Structure 1
Amino acid sequence: MPAAKYQLTENPNEVIRLDDNTKIPHGHRWWDDYEAWLAEGNQPLPIDAEKITKESLIAAIASMRYDLEVAGTSWNGIPVFTDRDSRSVLTSAIVTGQLLGSWPQGWKFADGQFRAVTGDELKAVALAVKQHVDAAFMAEAGHGAAIATLSDQAAIDAYDVSAGWPA
């Protein structure tokens, strides 16, 4: 079914044309266009429906990126935390190891297990985390660029924010 072109209002004798947010009262010459559109089997958005905008799509992809960013990844088949606090602790452990030569004797992974790791292994964990986080941000950037090119309400309504994210 095509994207909605009109939205109902509290006033049953008025609709909003979504392409340009024009209110069309019953009896106006454009009301005939609305009725013809309805006759084709189309349905207007309900009164309380929120219009999808480029801004709402941008907000949705930012939220999806954050959820992916902090969802975790794996290193050598072992689940790894990627939330911002865990990344900070990981970075601190590596900096401390490099500056002071004092590496952690073990690391707690996202499965709750402590494992012995070398400094090089801890750096490899950090690289896996960085690649995961970078992929989330790059997917958001790609969506943002695509959304910027959307030229009309039908394209905005049809845009699929769930496609194109890394696994």
Structure 2
Amino acid sequence: MYAINGAGFRAISEASDLQAGEVLSLEFPEHLIGPPTTLEGMKLAAKARATQLRWECETGGVSIGDVQVGSTTEDQNRISSVLAAAGLGTVEQVDFKANSGWVTLTLAEIRGIAAAISAHVQACFTAERAHHEAIDAIGNIEELQAYDVAAGWPA
């Protein structure tokens, strides 16, 4: 993931890292400088692709039984809000709009969903880290070109 501005670009980990005047690019900004040709430049591009894939996986949702639940930051915040309200004793069950449709859930089920999303997000970051470390360990362009950054992501 890259932040692009009038002066060039920089690699970022999250869209929230954008600063005023920058736009987000999920792909390496070849249109600004051409494709990378050095091993280090190619490693940066490969790690940016791993970061992009982590973000897509992280925010792509998670299946819990027959329910497909969103896992974006907004989805996580909504679930946290329900759990906070539960702590106040204001709710015992909720109507929940999952990606797969409406369901009525108990607080125990909501807690289970929160735990599943948390585990999913952590697995995504663990996979991204493994890719970054593997890419850093590559010693030549041929090995890097053979490396499959799309493999090994959580389902």
Could you tell me the TM-score, scaled by structure 2's length? Answer: 0.70
Root mean square deviation of aligned Cα? 1.5
| Aligned match of 1:54 | 43
Aligned residues of 2:36 and 2:45 also touching (Cα < 8 A): no
Instruction: Specify the code of the residue in structure 1 equivalent to 2:55.
Output: Y
Aligned residues of 2:36 and 2:42 also touching (Cα < 8 A): no
How many residue pairs match? The answer is 118
Which structure shows the higher strand fraction? 2
Between the aligned partners of 1:105 and 1:157, the Cα distance in structure 2 is 49
Structure 1: runs of 5 or more not aligned:
1-47
Deviation for aligned residue 1:127: 1.0
1:1-167 correspondence to structure 2 within 5 Å: 49-51=35-37, 53-98=42-87, 100-103=88-91, 104-111=93-100, 113-167=101-155
SS of the residue corresponding to residue 166 of structure 1 reads coil
4+ aligned runs moved over 6 Å, structure 1: none
Deviation for aligned residue 1:132: 1.3
Task: Answer with 1 or 2: which has the greater Rg.
Answer: 1
Could you tell me the TM-score, scaled by structure 1's length? Answer: 0.66
Between the aligned partners of 2:35 and 2:113, the Cα distance in structure 1 is 45
Between the aligned partners of 1:116 and 1:77, the Cα distance in structure 2 is 13
- Sequence identity, in percent? 28
